[in-house]
Amino acid sequence: MYLVGSAHAHTADAQRLLERAVSDGDKRVTSADVFQEILHRYTAIGRRDAIQPAWDVLAAMVDEVFPIELTDTDRARAIVLERPMLSARDALHAAVMQRHGVSRIMSFDAGFDVLPGLARVH
């Protein structure tokens, strides 16, 4: 979200993270939930014009999009019950990552720091 739209304190950092991942040859993945977040956020703030550009940037920067499955929501439920400081959305991201064996996340959200086995790249 920091790569498109209005300037933000994290915009330059997000661009550097992505450039580093590309230059290092890292596989970049996301889940269908991140696309849903684009829809949710830009609809909520009345910026439907920003949906397509944000969608296009995300689609272009990832190598694979993981689906959300019932097992992911079950795991996310367990995560939020174990770690009340973690948001439901972050728990769902973590659950999908766990199912696919992904151990690093590009995020400025410190909430991910409470999850063992997950390294936040920021």
Q: Look at residue 96 in the predicted model and tell me its pLDDT.
A: 97
CA dist., res. 80 & res. 77, Å (int): 5
Residue 42: partners with Cβ closer than 8 Å, 6 or more residues away: 48, 50, 51, 54
Examine the pLDDT at 3 and tell me if it is beyond 70: no
Q: What is the pLDDT of residues 57-69, one digit of tens each?
A: 889 989 999 999 9
Q: What is the CATH number of domain 11-121?
A: 3.40.50.1010
Confidence of residue 10 (pLDDT cuts 50, 70, 90): low
Angstrom distance (rounded) from CA 15 to CA 4: 10
Contacts by 96-103, CB closer than 8 A, 24 or more apart: 96/31, 96/33, 96/66, 96/68, 96/72, 99/66, 99/69, 99/71, 99/72, 99/75, 100/29, 100/66, 102/29
Answer whether residue 115 shows pLDDT above 70: yes
Note the pLDDT of residue 8. Answer: 64
Domain ranges of the chain: 11-121
Whole-number percent of the chain with pLDDT over 90? 60
Tokens of 110: 């410190």
Mean pLDDT of 71-86: 96
Is this prediction's pTM over 0.75? yes
Helices in the chain by DSSP H: which ranges?
11-23, 32-44, 51-61, 70-82, 88-100
Indicate if the pLDDT at residue 48 is higher than 90: yes
Residue carrying structure tokens 């973590």: 94
